[in-house]
Structures are given as structure tokens and as C-alpha cells.
Amino acid sequence: MNRYTTVIFDLDGTLLDTLDDLTAGVNHMLSVLKLPPCLPAQVRQWVGDGSEMLIERCLPEGRADLRFAQACHIYRDYYLTHSRDKTAPYRGIPELLTKLHRTGFQLGIVSNKFDPAVKEMAQVYFASLIDVAIGESENIRRKPAPDSLLRAIEQLNSLPKETLYVGDSEVDIMTAANAGVDCVSVTWGFRNKDHLITIGARQLIDRPEDLLPLLKGATTCHSFCL
């Protein structure tokens, strides 16, 4: 019998390669405010903690900048319209989700991206494969607080001990730990393998298809797996 009944994924850097559209959104905001643009490599390191933290990291004076609220609105309005210009699932992700769905796993998404964008992307890219999608909103604390992950588990009628959380960053590792959920870190996202090991990743996979044997009880991740 499989240990897990439920698999919940982070979105950016895990299921979807959103870097180009995130960078475009940030640079649109900076252009409106007449500030120099950011490089994709910078945005890659700054994402994961929600849109406000991303904007804070982009502005020279951070949250203390008097234009911070304006910058957040500019970014949000632009990104909601342009979030799918270049975004696409990572290779192998649609096939993975399809196999998991057909096998009977309950599937969810938990992200620090704002909730309307998360729900739209779940529907557009993964249609009927995802049962629950939760993003950042005013009534729930963002990751690494466990609230959104625990809410998704509850909505899926599952339990933390039956759930595996899959993500690409330190925020995802901490979120899973705070929720009492096992975590697998992916190496194709916004953090590289060495960084993930440094920040405490215990299980790593290099390709989406590597998750399937792991869920069935085989050891296909790296040698320091639990």
C-alpha cells in the first residue's frame, strides 16, 4: 500500500517555468517608476516569498520606498494580464500529473503567488488534473506558514502524514516542516541542487518522472533521502 494518497505542488519553479513573465512584470513596474530593470537571474533569486517581498527586493529602498504600494499595484495589474505570455509547464510535468491523477492520487497546488493567478493557471494549464489550488490572499498567511498547505490538505479530505509536498525552494522545505508534511525538492526550478542541499533538502529529484517510483516506495532520489 502506498504511503501517500495526496501530492501537493508549489507552482512557480516546480510545475511552471514563470521566470520570463515574472521578470517582465517586475521590469514593467520599474519602467513605470523610471528605475533601472532587473535581470532574470536576480528575479530568480527573489521569488518564492510572495509578490510584496518580490517588489520589496526590487526597489532600491525596499518596503521603505514611498512608492512601494504603488509599485505593488502596478506589478499586480500588469502580471494578472500578462502572466501567461511565455509561461509554460516544465517538460514532463503534464505527463506526471496525468499519471498521478489516473493512479488515484489527490493533487493540489499551494503557492505564494496571489490567489487569482494561481487558480487561473491551475485551470488553464492543468484543467481537471488539480483538485485544489490555493495562493496568497488576505485571509491566510503565506508560506512558510503552514496555513495554506494545511487548508489544501483539509479540502482534499487528507491528512499531513498521507501528503507529500513538492517544491523548489527553501520556503517550500520550511512550509512542509511547519505543516508536518514530507517534502521533495526539485532541481529544475529556481534553486540549484547545491543550494537546495545547503538549505536542508532531504529528498531531491532531477526529473518529474523520478517522483513516480518514489511515491511507490522505491528510492530514486539522491542518497541522503529519508
Residues with a known catalytic role: 10
For residue 40 the three cell numbers come to 532574470
Q: What is the three-class DSSP state of 72?
A: helix
Distance CA 51, CA 110 (A): 15
Phi, psi of 124 (to 5 degrees): -70, -45
CB 19 within 8 A of CB 191: no
Contacting residues for 197 by C-beta, under 8 A, at least 6 apart? 204, 224
CB 45 within 8 A of CB 223: no
CB 149 within 8 A of CB 181: yes
Helix ranges, the chain (H): 19-32, 40-46, 51-58, 68-82, 93-103, 115-126, 147-155, 170-179, 193-198, 211-215
